[in-house]
Structure 1
Amino acid sequence: MPTFDINSTGESVGKVFADKIKGKTVIVTGVSPNGFGADTARVLALYGAKVVLAGRTLSKIQATAADIKKESPNADLRELVLDLSSLQSVRQAAEEVLQYSGPIDLVITNAGVMGTPYQKTVDGIELQFASNHVGHYLFVNLIIPKLLESLAPRVVLASSVGHLWGPVRFDDYNFEDGKTYDKWLAYGQSKTAVILYGIELAERYKGRITVFSVHPGGSITNLGGSLTKEDYEKFADFYHPDGTPKGDWARSIGQGTATYFVAGFDPSITDKTGSYLTECKIANEQVAPHATDKEAAKKLWALSEELVGQKFN
């Protein structure tokens, strides 16, 4: 098996696993042009996957589909409107997926928001926690039956090194209704939740579904749309004042997507289900203790069930 590293790209990793990608049905969330999701979908289509392009805005989904078709005219693409900040939208999207013929082989939960001003969703949940964790939690759990139709299903959850900035605030995930809101603690909470969800999902479906959480790396994408000059100054170790990433933190979008492809298709890591990856490698030693606590993972599952109003056994 080749060695992948910080310089690998989604396309270079995908080429190695082309035989495993061909014919698979993959859902990618968050596929706006010029982002990780769009590039992931492009490479999947290039190597013959059937790709479900899931996103909040139909026009952006269609723009990405058009870009993919330019490179791969015969690409097998499907559009799925999915607004992760609305539990009703998530349920509608999941219901649509459950009507598909054939299995879902892989879900990549790439969509997310970062460093947004305080706001609550229509369901009363702080936006970053809702979009980065709760919406995906509901969506993936609802489509488990389609995943279990696959011979070797996988779920790849987009987390971040930002999980280091904060644990899940089980008793106050909404920051006293915004009174004590810190957007970076909130982002950290949401990305910690992603890792904990991956741990518990892997545990519940051990031997049936392989699950990984991933930090793709820092690139200039639409994710940073809410960031301010003050934010870039706060994170001067990672960003230049103009918002461009620094040093090893700086990746091309293609380098960012490489770890998705390792997590999604590398057969040598299936026994490490529940793990966290970055730079194309298992990197559990880089995860904060608050994001590896198995009791916290169980507690998060219970909180998430409460927030979506549904039990998943």
Structure 2
Amino acid sequence: MSNFDTNSTAESVAKALATEIRSKTVIVTGVTPGGYGAEAARVLALEGAKVVLAGRSLSKIKATDEAIKKETPDAELRELVLDLSSQKSVREAADEVLKYSEAIDVLILNAGIMGTPYEKMVDGLELQFATNHVGNFLFTNLIIPKLFEAPAPRVVTVSSVGHQWGPVRFHDYDFQDGKVYDKWVAYGQSKTASILFTVELADRYKNTKLRAFSIHPGGAATSLHQHMTKEDYERFSDFYNPDGTAKGNWLRTVEQCSATHIVASFDPSIANETGAYLTECKIATDQVAPYAIDKENATKLWTLTEELVGQKFNV
């Protein structure tokens, strides 16, 4: 495996993998300025990739677009409005992608939310589960034909160490309509689902050219933390002071956290490890909860999610 580690940055990894990145077309979801997706998009554009900037907010997409163009004036960028919490929006975005003339080499499912209050979405699903899993599942499966136009397609799903806060609650994934809702257990469920989705996707396509990886990028100060409250900082007092500042040295930079996005997307040395979970730029089998890589759970989740989107996806 390549010699990337916790000190690597997205830019240093992209520079090392420049020949793999150049001229590839990559969709990056969740490109809010200052976040992991925006940084991944920036360094990919810097190394000559064509980048599709996908997100819920057109104004945030445009802000990232402008920032990248300022640094790399000849960057090839597209904008794609994609609200993962709405299956209608996901289907519309997928239809747009299917009309692209070029193949999609890599799909980086970076967009996500964390620790939100209970909210039921238009499709009847809890917000975190809808956004962090169901939307990703639907979008990926709908654009599979564009991925298979590429010579070595990859799907990278951003999970979290937070998957250890809870398995998928197959018996009650909606927390009794919010009556027994715990936002951190719900977040854990959604991020466990991200890993299980990767496991099943990799298995279903194991005899094809498609490769799939899930990652924990690490923790940095981004807008992902916008729903954290005083009570949350008390709950996670091993990691945070009461004022929300980080304890110890676990907090990393956005540049470092985004490095694993690039490794999972382009490092040729991990191509045979499809389905793996990465953190700090390396495959991390000892840092993933057993329930998150359980094949029976992965298949069960795939079937459940097909029911939730009203569509079956076969290889």
Q: TM-score range by the shorter chain?
A: over 0.9
Q: Matched residues in 2 for 1:84 and 1:189: separation?
A: 17
Shift of 1:246: 3.5
Which residue of structure 2 lines up, in the alignment, with residue 251 of structure 1? 252
Which residue of structure 2 lines up, in the alignment, with residue 158 of structure 1? 158
Once the two structures are superposed, the pairs formed by residues 80-91 of structure 1 within 5 Å of their partners are 80-91=80-91
Shift of 1:248: 4.2
> Is the Cα contact below 8 Å between 1:109 and 1:156 reproduced in 2?
yes
Once the two structures are superposed, the pairs formed by residues 224-243 of structure 1 within 5 Å of their partners are 224-243=225-244
Which residue of structure 1 lines up, in the alignment, with residue 296 of structure 2? 295
Pair 1:9-2:9 in alignment: yes
Which residue of structure 1 lines up, in the alignment, with residue 53 of structure 2? 53
Shift of 1:239: 2.3
Q: Matched residues in 2 for 1:246 and 1:48: separation?
A: 38
Shift of 1:232: 1.2
Query: How much is the aligned-residue C-alpha RMSD, in angstroms?
Result: 0.9
Q: What's the TM-score, normalizing by structure 1?
A: 0.98
* Superposed CA offset, 1:54-74 (max 9, x none): 000101100010010110001
Q: How has the CA–CA distance of structure 1 residues 244 and 108 changed in structure 2, closer, same or farther, with 3 Å as cutoff?
A: farther
> Is the Cα contact below 8 Å between 1:113 and 1:223 reproduced in 2?
yes
Which residue of structure 2 lines up, in the alignment, with residue 282 of structure 1? 283
> Is the Cα contact below 8 Å between 1:218 and 1:245 reproduced in 2?
no
* Superposed CA offset, 1:56-112 (max 9, x none): 010110001001011000100000000001000000000000000121000000000
Shift of 1:244: 3.3
Q: Matched residues in 1 for 2:80 and 2:30: separation?
A: 10
Once the two structures are superposed, the pairs formed by residues 27-46 of structure 1 within 5 Å of their partners are 27-46=27-46
Q: Secondary structure at the match of 1:249?
A: coil
Q: Secondary structure at the match of 2:214?
A: strand
AA in 2 matched with 1:268:
S
In the TM superposition, structure 1's runs of 4+ consecutive aligned residues that sit over 6 Å from their partners are none
Shift of 1:208: 1.9
Q: Secondary structure at the match of 1:271?
A: helix
AA in 2 matched with 1:106:
V
Shift of 1:237: 1.8
* Superposed CA offset, 1:261-303 (max 9, x none): 1101110111110000001000021111110110000000001
> Is the Cα contact below 8 Å between 2:163 and 2:190 reproduced in 1?
yes
> Is the Cα contact below 8 Å between 1:25 and 1:51 reproduced in 2?
yes
AA in 2 matched with 1:278:
T
Q: Matched residues in 1 for 2:73 and 2:246: separation?
A: 34
* Identical counterparts, % of pairs: 69
> Is the Cα contact below 8 Å between 1:210 and 1:273 reproduced in 2?
yes
AA in 2 matched with 1:148:
F
Q: Matched residues in 2 for 1:85 and 1:244: separation?
A: 30
Shift of 1:35: 0.4
Q: Matched residues in 1 for 2:104 and 2:285: separation?
A: 27
Shift of 1:172: 0.7
> Is the Cα contact below 8 Å between 1:29 and 1:54 reproduced in 2?
yes
> Is the Cα contact below 8 Å between 2:28 and 2:108 reproduced in 1?
yes
Shift of 1:230: 1.1
Which residue of structure 1 lines up, in the alignment, with residue 222 of structure 2? 221
AA in 2 matched with 1:250:
L
Shift of 1:241: 2.7
Which residue of structure 1 lines up, in the alignment, with residue 92 of structure 2? 92
AA in 2 matched with 1:290:
Y
Q: Matched residues in 1 for 2:249 and 2:158: separation?
A: 19
Count of residues paired in the alignment: 313
Once the two structures are superposed, the pairs formed by residues 100-139 of structure 1 within 5 Å of their partners are 100-139=100-139
> Is the Cα contact below 8 Å between 1:21 and 1:47 reproduced in 2?
yes
Once the two structures are superposed, the pairs formed by residues 297-312 of structure 1 within 5 Å of their partners are 297-312=298-313
Q: Matched residues in 2 for 1:140 and 1:240: separation?
A: 38
* Superposed CA offset, 1:98-145 (max 9, x none): 000121000000000000000011101000000000000000000000
Which residue of structure 1 lines up, in the alignment, with residue 268 of structure 2? 267
> Is the Cα contact below 8 Å between 1:219 and 1:245 reproduced in 2?
no
Shift of 1:240: 2.9
Gaps of 5+ in 2: none
> Is the Cα contact below 8 Å between 1:220 and 1:245 reproduced in 2?
no
Q: Matched residues in 1 for 2:37 and 2:244: separation?
A: 21
> Is the Cα contact below 8 Å between 1:156 and 1:213 reproduced in 2?
yes
Gaps of 5+ in 1: none
Q: Matched residues in 2 for 1:241 and 1:7: separation?
A: 28
Which residue of structure 2 lines up, in the alignment, with residue 144 of structure 1? 144
